[in-house]
Chain A
Amino acid sequence: MDTKLNSPLPVRPSRWSFYLFLVGLFVIVLLSAIYIGANPLILFQNIDNMVDLIVSMFPPAWSYIATTTPAMLETIRMALLGTTIGMIFSIPIMFLCARNIFRTRWLVELSRIGLNVLRTIPDLLLAAIFAAILGFSPLAGIVALSIFSIGIIAKLSFEAIENIDNGPLESMTAVGANKLQWIAFGVVPQILPHFVSYVLYTFEINIRAAAILGLVGAGGIGIYYDRALGFFAYDQVLALILYTLVVVIIIDLISLNIREKLL
């Protein structure tokens, strides 16, 4: 005690562990880079490849936009249907995952673990598997997007449910409402705007995802990416990139507009 009071300055905590951590991190990054053969020399040697590639992209093949419009519409349809089906399935799941709706502890925890596992599987992996099951068709993309959407919508919504105001729920219990009435009149009006907003947000994500699902054979405009790249037609690739970009931006703007009005 005495020594502590008399010491002129507080002792600086040792920084060795921090330095050790930095060195460890550096070693891990270096080993990873070696493992995947990330040799900067290759990149610089092949830099003219890249320059050639970029040069061959210009001017973009605008005529390709007309050719690919049916596929683009199919992409939008896939995203729309995938989001809708995902929305329908996420409704029961999000109630099951909310701690303030279902008091059965093991059921809630089990549904949460299930949802978390579902969320770890990337969209393109789902599409590749469903393309193998259902054949190369937009149906595979729709099923993959539906499952992918459940993960996002259910996750965001159950968190919104857990943050609702308890007042209406207590009054409903006080006047003797049953569980279904309790959810319909106490919970739903409170979370509906959030829920619709999350569905729209998921739709925005799904449009981006649907545009590339075709690369693994799951329908939409992605098939044309594959084709154009296969023929080394980079001007067509650029036209596709720009076309997708414009569609994504337009849909984002519409969706963002509605979402701002909702909340």
Chain B
Amino acid sequence: MSQRDQLKKARVKRRGKLALLLIALVVLYVWAFSGIEFKGIQETAGPVTKNILKGFISPDWSYVYSPDGEDLIRGLVETLAIAIVGIVLSVIFAIPIGLWASKNLSSNFLAFQSGKGLLSFIRTLPDIILALLFIKVVGPGAYAGMLALGIGAIGMLGKLYAEEVEAMDPGPVESITAVGGNKLQQLAFGVIPQVLPGFISATLYRFEINMRSAATLGLIGAGGIGTSLIFAIQGRTWDRVGMILIGIVVVVLIVDLISSALRKRIV
């Protein structure tokens, strides 16, 4: 009897919790919907959508390559270049910071915690905000975009590197210590060979993200294909917008395929 009562009580409690959760969700959604002003869709929405779809079906092929001036190929190559140089810049900074932030390599709490803090701080800065700041420093263009990506990616790469180092086998480092290897030798022969595949895999993964970011940075004036896209949108040349989107999708897919094939071979 008492056991049955207990079960009953537990059920009532569970139902009560569920009801509370549902009420909370309903309140949340009422709040969310009531706050958004639906000013009505502008009347051009229909024709614009039709034109964009038409642009996808019959894209502006003449935009792919033109011997002089702006074209799709140049925009995409610039985007790729931004992503490549950006990733190199972030790797150069992320390796030392990642090693500094790994728990098992540093002797005291303060050292690795400060490294981790620095990495989380960098991770919270959005790429776009960094790009806006670098545009003020070096002027609009691909260079600003590259710097933004390069600095922005340090946070994530450093974190992934540190996790890789923390997950490694301590054996090799201990053996090198036992035969009298110094700190640098421990690092070069004990740590690096073990973590290199993980580092490369993390770098490739971040490179895939860089490609997408590099494509969007142009929307705010930091070079790459995004610049051409925003001009095409502002100029209402929808067949060109369609062509640019197709170009971005194709290049990002190719980069993803190559990168994930490489990552599978490495790990």
Q: How far is the CA of A201 from the CA of B41 in the complex (A)?
A: 30
Of the listed residues B33, B48, B85, the one surrounded by the most CB atoms of chain A closer than 10 A to its CB is: B85
Residues of B within 8 A of A47 (CB): 137
Is residue B138 contacting chain A, with contact meaning CB distance below 8 A?
yes
Is residue B148 contacting chain A, with contact meaning CB distance below 8 A?
no
Nearest chain-A residue to B79 (Cβ)? A36
Nearest chain-B residue to A135 (Cβ)? B42
Q: How far is the CA of A26 from the CA of B29 in the complex (A)?
A: 53
Is residue B156 contacting chain A, with contact meaning CB distance below 8 A?
no
Is residue B248 contacting chain A, with contact meaning CB distance below 8 A?
yes
Is residue B170 contacting chain A, with contact meaning CB distance below 8 A?
no
Is residue A253 contacting chain B, with contact meaning CB distance below 8 A?
no
How many A-B contacts are there with CB distance less than 8 Å? 144
Q: Which of A42-90 contact B (CB under 8 A)?
A: 42-43, 46-47, 49-50, 53, 73-74, 76-78, 80-81, 84
Number of interface residues of B (CB under 8 A): 59
Interface of B is mostly: helix
Is residue A241 contacting chain B, with contact meaning CB distance below 8 A?
yes
Q: How far is the CA of A225 from the CA of B131 in the complex (A)?
A: 12
Given A32-B80, A53-B137; 9 other pairs, CB 8 A cutoff: A36-B143, A38-B146, A42-B138, A43-B138, A50-B137, A74-B35, A125-B215, A128-B233, A212-B126
Q: Which residues of A contact B (CB under 8 A)?
A: 28-29, 31-33, 35-39, 42-43, 46-47, 49-50, 53, 73-74, 76-78, 80-81, 84, 116-117, 120-125, 128-129, 132-135, 137-139, 142, 208, 211-212, 215-216, 225, 229, 237, 241, 245, 248-249
6 pairs, CB–CB < 8 Å, chain A vs chain B: A36-B141, A36-B142, A46-B138, A47-B137, A81-B36, A125-B215
Q: Which residues of B contact A (CB under 8 A)?
A: 28-29, 31-33, 35-39, 41-42, 45, 48-49, 52, 77-78, 80-82, 84-85, 88, 124-126, 128-129, 132-133, 136-139, 141-143, 145-147, 212-213, 215-216, 219-220, 223, 226, 229-230, 233, 241, 245, 248-249, 252-253, 256
